[in-house]
Chains A and B, each alone.
Chain A
Amino acid sequence: MSVNSPDTTERPGAIDARPVPHPWRWVALAVILILVAMMISSFLTNERWGFSTALQIMNQTPVLEGLWKGTIVGTIGAMAIGVVGGVIIAIMRLSTNPVLRGVSFVYTWFFRGIPRLVLLAMIGSGIGFLYSELNFGVPFGQQLASLMGLSSDFTFFTLDVNQFSSTLLAGIIGLGLSEAAYMAEIARAGIISVDKGQNEAAQALGMSRGQAMRRIVLPQAMRVIVPPTGNETIAMVKDTSLLSAIPVITELFYQTRAIGTRTLQIMPSFVAVTAWYLLVGSVLMVGQYYLERRFGRGFTGKAPKDKRFARPAGMGGA
């Protein structure tokens, strides 16, 4: 007992203690290793997986084109529209102007309410049926012109909707509009999370509301907005497969499956498409890591690597 006694003459030294045992971690590891071994064995022995065929399918030109245009360009485009649109709708939602608040509410209600598949199918066929061409000009310009007996009808620019509505761009806009409704909720949560003293400090310095939002509030809101946006982006990668409803067929899943069906290599084509989606998702996760670090400036306690302190040791305050 003399070791535990507080009046021991020896002063205690460095701590050398045994760690808490975690037997269940070892059990779990063993189970996982067995499962992995079974899978690898299946990969090696069951030829129906068809990995070499899958690799070939992954490298087919139409598949690569579908990956690039439909999946990658589609995701980037739709998310760009979604993020910008979502922030704008969130700001409208938080505005003191009741008209803007109403518009943003109706927008979110509509685009969150309809499935993306239905939305894209509607853009693809429905809109062109309703409005075969879109005229950009003075509202009610045609009616006004006929009233006044003018030859001009106040139209500056005409768009052939039927030609446009089946393009990749139409699909991207459709996905982007839908995404904006979800991003608006994420952006709103981010903006609300910023202490209102930040806005007050900015306004007290003479910044306009817009400047305070852009320069002070939004950059801080990004810390909260970025992680779920990464989630949304990965979800969007997968949702670009819905573009085939437009129908836009330069799209990864459509092309892979077409090859699989045509060559009767169904399973290898699934393996190929899964591999591509996982690869794109992995790249996005790396990108998200860097974005989170960028917008975590001043919060992590560590300075970002590109900033150096003039004199880290000269603490004057204490």
Chain B
Amino acid sequence: MTDTTAGELSRTRGDVPLVRALNVSKSFHGNEVLKGIDLDVHRGEVVCLLGPSGSGKTTFLRCINQLESIDGGRIWVDGDLVGYREVKGHLHHLNDKEIATQRRDIGMVFQRFNLFPHKTALENVIEAPLIVRGVARKEAQERGRRLLAQVGLADKPDAYPGQLSGGQQQRVAIARALAMDPKLMLFDEPTSALDPELVGEVLRVMRELADAGMTMIVVTHEMGFARDVADQVVFMDGGVVVEEGKPTEVLGNPQHERTRSFLRRMRSEHDTSLADDAARAAGTDADAPV
């Protein structure tokens, strides 16, 4: 594993990756959840993070935009050290304002959407541009409507989250993150809380985003999406990266027993919904607006 990582790093030296994580570790109350994660994500790349539940995928994503702080290692986003400033070889914690500034360029989509329930879809989307970036309301609204149209919700600007289906809510959440013009989008199992028939509409939006060149780190159990969209698949287990590489390598010809058994388990669980999978992989969905 160490060899693979070193090889990866030497190959990519030269152009600075958008995200570089080196030896990232994190413990919760003495329970080591991340044990030295290395990861490079280049501009325009889509990285899919796979792994069994509890392997630290969510924690790693949260570390990238500082919803958790790391205990060891370093993370850089676009060349900036995340969470710290290095002065004369010493690290200094960034203050709240500086942390907020770093987060602006990173969009995050949560498993449970976390839309603001007291605001309409459009208000959700324009909130951050209005108060964080200070964009004029009219301009923000125009942009917000365009973003809602982009995720297929042109007719829902005035709906409250409670009046939308899960798939619609998640698409609003994606539009909300995009409204800040992020350089990087983080997705934490964006379709895991959805009814099966609503998964396709969200994956399609993500696929379009990837095609448009967005840099994305996606934690997902959707093998079809990983196979078709990812440039790099990373398999994590027990807080370490077990295996990484092209989707065809990791998914098609896994080298490690842990990867193989995980993929076997995923396949048998999804056997019953193979038809769904095929449909999703093909990018079609049952509920495209008519």
Q: Is A310 engaged at the interface, CB distance under 8 Å to the other chain?
A: yes
In contact, A208 and B118 (Cβ under 8 angstroms): no
Q: For the complex, count residues of B whose C-beta is within 8 A of A.
A: 46
In contact, B158 and A207 (Cβ under 8 angstroms): no
Contact with A along B116-137 (1 / 0, CB 8 A): 1111100000011001100000
Kindly specify which of B20-28, B78-86, B107-115 makes contact with the partner chain. Answer: B107-115
Give the distance in Å from the alpha carbon of A195 to the alpha carbon of B289 in the complex: 32
Give the distance in Å from the alpha carbon of A68 to the alpha carbon of B67 in the complex: 51
State which of B103, B127, B153, B289 has its C-beta within 8 Å of the C-beta of A204: B103
Q: Do A206 and B103 form a contact, CB below 8 Å, given A197-B112, A317-B167?
A: yes
Kindly specify which of B93-101, B210-218, B259-267 makes contact with the partner chain. Answer: B93-101
Within 8 A of B (CB), among A15-42: none
Q: Is A262 engaged at the interface, CB distance under 8 Å to the other chain?
A: no
In contact, A317 and B97 (Cβ under 8 angstroms): no
- Among B108, B117, B180, B198, max chain A CB count under 10 A is at B117
In contact, B117 and A205 (Cβ under 8 angstroms): no
State which of A207, A307, A317 has its C-beta within 8 Å of the C-beta of B131: A207
Q: Do A205 and B176 form a contact, CB below 8 Å, given A310-B157, A317-B168?
A: yes
Q: Do A215 and B131 form a contact, CB below 8 Å, given A316-B153, A316-B289, A317-B198?
A: yes
Give the distance in Å from the alpha carbon of A303 to the alpha carbon of B117 in the complex: 12
Kindly specify which of A131-139, A239-247, A293-301 makes contact with the partner chain. Answer: A293-301
Give the distance in Å from the alpha carbon of A202 to the alpha carbon of B114 in the complex: 9
In contact, B132 and A207 (Cβ under 8 angstroms): yes
Give the distance in Å from the alpha carbon of A208 to the alpha carbon of B153 in the complex: 29
Q: Do A299 and B287 form a contact, CB below 8 Å, given A204-B106, A207-B100?
A: no
Q: Do A206 and B167 form a contact, CB below 8 Å, given A197-B110, A201-B116, A220-B118?
A: no
At the interface, is chain A mostly helix, strand, loop or mixed? loop
Q: Chain B nearest CB: distance from A208 CB in Å?
A: 5
Give the distance in Å from the alpha carbon of A127 to the alpha carbon of B249 in the complex: 80
In contact, A298 and B162 (Cβ under 8 angstroms): yes
Contact with B along A64-77 (1 / 0, CB 8 A): 00000000000000
Within 8 A of B (CB), among A183-216: 195, 197-198, 200-209, 211, 215-216
Q: Is B152 engaged at the interface, CB distance under 8 Å to the other chain?
A: yes
In contact, B118 and A211 (Cβ under 8 angstroms): no
Contact with A along B128-165 (1 / 0, CB 8 A): 10011000000000000000000011011111111111
Q: Chain A nearest CB: distance from B40 CB in Å?
A: 22
Give the distance in Å from the alpha carbon of A205 to the alpha carbon of B175 in the complex: 12
Q: Is A308 engaged at the interface, CB distance under 8 Å to the other chain?
A: yes
Give the distance in Å from the alpha carbon of A200 to the alpha carbon of B173 in the complex: 13
In contact, B117 and A310 (Cβ under 8 angstroms): no
In contact, B100 and A208 (Cβ under 8 angstroms): yes
In contact, A200 and B100 (Cβ under 8 angstroms): no
Q: Is B104 engaged at the interface, CB distance under 8 Å to the other chain?
A: yes
In contact, A299 and B118 (Cβ under 8 angstroms): yes
In contact, A311 and B114 (Cβ under 8 angstroms): no
- Nearest chain A residue, comparing its CB with the CB of B124: A201
- Nearest chain B residue, comparing its CB with the CB of A197: B114
In contact, B117 and A317 (Cβ under 8 angstroms): no
Q: Chain A nearest CB: distance from B111 CB in Å?
A: 9
Residues of A within 8 A of B112 (CB): 197
Q: Is A219 engaged at the interface, CB distance under 8 Å to the other chain?
A: yes
Q: Is A314 engaged at the interface, CB distance under 8 Å to the other chain?
A: yes
Q: Chain B nearest CB: distance from A219 CB in Å?
A: 5
Within 8 A of A (CB), among B55-91: 65, 67
- Among A201, A208, A215, A310, max chain B CB count under 10 A is at A201
Q: Is A130 engaged at the interface, CB distance under 8 Å to the other chain?
A: no
Q: Is A318 engaged at the interface, CB distance under 8 Å to the other chain?
A: yes
Q: Is A309 engaged at the interface, CB distance under 8 Å to the other chain?
A: yes
In contact, A206 and B159 (Cβ under 8 angstroms): no
Give the distance in Å from the alpha carbon of A204 to the alpha carbon of B159 in the complex: 23
State which of B107, B127, B168 has its C-beta within 8 Å of the C-beta of A316: B168
Give the distance in Å from the alpha carbon of A211 to the alpha carbon of B158 in the complex: 23
Q: Do A204 and B67 form a contact, CB below 8 Å, given A299-B118, A317-B198?
A: yes
In contact, B97 and A198 (Cβ under 8 angstroms): no
In contact, A298 and B128 (Cβ under 8 angstroms): no
Q: Is B244 engaged at the interface, CB distance under 8 Å to the other chain?
A: no
Residues of B within 8 A of A205 (CB): 103-104, 127-128, 132, 176-177, 180
List the 7 closest pairs (A to B, CB-CB), nearest first.
A206-B104, A317-B165, A201-B114, A205-B128, A298-B160, A197-B114, A204-B108
Q: A203-B103, A310-B157 are in contact. List 17 more A-B contacts (CB 8 A).
A: A201-B110, A204-B106, A205-B104, A206-B100, A209-B96, A216-B116, A216-B127, A295-B118, A297-B118, A298-B120, A298-B160, A298-B162, A299-B117, A303-B163, A310-B156, A317-B168, A317-B198
B residues at A contact (CB < 8 Å): 65, 67, 96-97, 100-101, 103-104, 106-108, 110, 112, 114-120, 127-128, 131-132, 152-153, 155-165, 167-168, 176-177, 180, 198, 201, 287, 289
Q: List 9 A-B contacts (CB under 8 A).
A: A200-B110, A201-B108, A204-B103, A205-B176, A206-B132, A207-B128, A208-B97, A219-B118, A317-B287
